[in-house]
Amino acid sequence: MFIRVTAILVILTSSFYAQAQNLPIDFEENISVENFIDFDGGSASIIDNPHNDTNNNSTKVAQIVRDGGTIWAGSKIALSESLDFTTLNKINMKVYTTAPIGTIVKFKLEGNGTTERDVQTTVNNAWETLTWDFTGEPSNFNEIVFMFDFGNVGDGSQNSTFLFDDIEQVYGGKQIDWPVDFEADDINYTMTDFGGNISNLVTDPSDPSNHAVQVIKTDEAATWAGTTIGTNAGFASDIPLSLTSSIMTVKVWSPEANTPIRLKVEDDKDPTHTCETETNTTLSGAWETLVFDFSNEAPGTQSLEVGLSFGWTFNMASIFFNFGTEGQDAGEQTYYFDDVYFGEMVSTNQNIEINILEAFPNPTNDYWRIASTKEILDLCFLDARGHILWTKKYPSVKQIQLESHNLPAGIYFARCRTNVGYHTISLLKQ
């Protein structure tokens, strides 16, 4: 009897010990294969590191082999306590695979609900560190789930065999907030792509002192492929859209003029609460500031007025390049965006004061007088949908008078180019 009770206690203690894990996990000690819970065709183990090098000199690593089962086959580990993403908002993990570059590695969290992120591999036959961003997620999850090559059924081959190691939470910067200029060192500038886009924070090809987001709309992209500006948690504060203050501006670079660019705002807690508007680029192969007025919603989308009447708030923004065109029709195209602002004024030069332009009287019935602290070289006049009505060059003046008596009542925009950049101001015709 004593021996039997002792054996039972040993089993219970081992079971408890096998479940008592927490991050970081390096598979070197205090963890065994019993910690893994395999499912639907995934089989996990802990093995000697067969690719010990400078990228990962660990003695032990974990391995998952996918053989048959489902497209989501994998394994998971239970943690002793829920993960807290308040400060350590990203999870890093080293991965080694012979599978093709671009293989999806899904990292899922379970517990009180679920959440998941997908990351694609960028190398093969080498160790690399992949990062999953969980900014804004609640402390609800105490299981980590590994699903390699998600979307395909494994065949037990080398390409269905995945090594991983050194799972840890890391600080990825403060939650993004508007205005966004991509220049701060302590902000999490992770973008969230969907529909076939690939985005990265890069050095501006035309200005080595500036940073911007490069967006590649691949040749496999959907018509609605886009990029959320930040993570799924959105901005740290709401975008204060109203019927009288409904404008956002984004500086964009497009390879072609007359490319439709759509901007969507939504609530990170309710994806049905959205408002979308659209305008077209006017330049090819050059930066320009586009004006997006959410009081002029895109066809087939909800109006800002209706959304606000229901009390909707918006704290996320997504941008769509060449909206409505599939990647296979346009071919792979590269775009850039920068300087996401709420309000009527934006400068393309980070060092220029925001109030560089003034218009008076505004609103008006007859004319606007636009005054600038910098010399105006040319002016582009746009309607409320961002369509160009006319452009004109000037001999370096600081004041311009625009006639308005022949214009219909509504909102207009004057985009002025000075010797230090572009600046936009909204104008109201009564």
The full DSSP string for 20-89 is -B-S-B-SSSS--GGGEEEETTEEEEEEE-TT-BTTB--SEEEEEEEEES-TT-EEEEEBSS----SS--
Quick: pLDDT tens for 63-77. 999 999 999 999 999
Q: Is the dihedral of CA 91, 95, 101, 106 positive or negative?
A: negative
Residue among 249, 238, 248 nearest 308 (CA): 238
- The band of 97, judged by pLDDT with boundaries at 50, 70 and 90, is very high
What 3-state DSSP class applies to 379? strand
Q: Which CATH number fits domain 192-342: 2.60.120.430, 3.30.420.40, 3.50.50.60, 2.60.120.560?
A: 2.60.120.430
| Token pair recorded at residue 255 | 């390879």
| Token pair recorded at residue 259 | 């490319």
pLDDT at 278 over 90: yes
Considering the chain, tell me which residue range(s) the CATH 2.60.40.1930 domain(s) occupy: 357-429
Q: Please say whether the beta carbons of 404 and 429 come within 8 A.
A: yes
Question: Structure pTM?
Answer: 0.62
H or E element that contains 102: none
- The band of 230, judged by pLDDT with boundaries at 50, 70 and 90, is very high
- Residues in the chain, overall count: 430
Q: How far apart are CA 192 and CA 318, in angstroms?
A: 9
H or E element that contains 161: strand 161-170
Q: What is the mean pLDDT of the chain?
A: 88
Q: What percent of the chain has pLDDT over 70?
A: 91
pLDDT score recorded for residue 389: 83
Residue among 163, 160, 156, 129 nearest 51 (CA): 163
Q: Which CATH architecture has domain 2-170?
A: Sandwich (2.60)
| Token pair recorded at residue 416 | 């002025």
Quick: pLDDT tens for 106-165. 999 999 999 999 999 999 999 999 999 998 889 999 999 999 999 999 999 999 999 999
DSSP state letter for 175: P
- The band of 351, judged by pLDDT with boundaries at 50, 70 and 90, is very low
pLDDT score recorded for residue 425: 81
Considering the chain, tell me which residue range(s) the CATH 2.60.120.430 domain(s) occupy: 192-342
Residue among 127, 104, 102, 105 nearest 50 (CA): 127
Cα 354 to chain centroid distance, Å, stands at: 26
pLDDT at 304 over 90: yes
The one-letter amino acid at 129 = T
Q: Out of 27-31, 342-346, 376-380, pick the least confident.
A: 342-346
Q: How far apart are CA 264 and CA 247, in angstroms?
A: 12
Q: How far apart are CA 304 and CA 275, in angstroms?
A: 6
Q: Please say whether the beta carbons of 319 and 229 come within 8 A.
A: yes
Considering the chain, tell me which residue range(s) the CATH 2.60.120.260 domain(s) occupy: 2-170
DSSP string, 62-76: EEEEEEES-TT-EEE
Average pLDDT over residues 32-58: 97
Q: Please say whether the beta carbons of 232 and 192 come within 8 A.
A: yes
413 or 50: which leads in pLDDT: 50
pLDDT score recorded for residue 19: 56
Residue among 72, 70, 56, 79 nearest 164 (CA): 56
Q: How far apart are CA 20 and CA 63, in angstroms?
A: 20
- The band of 420, judged by pLDDT with boundaries at 50, 70 and 90, is low
- The band of 348, judged by pLDDT with boundaries at 50, 70 and 90, is very low
Q: Specify the fold of 357-429.
A: Immunoglobulin-like (2.60.40)
Q: How far apart are CA 279 and CA 264, in angstroms?
A: 12
172 or 154: which leads in pLDDT: 154
Half-sphere exposure of 383 (CA within 13 A, CB side): 11
pLDDT at 8 over 70: no
| Token pair recorded at residue 428 | 């109201």
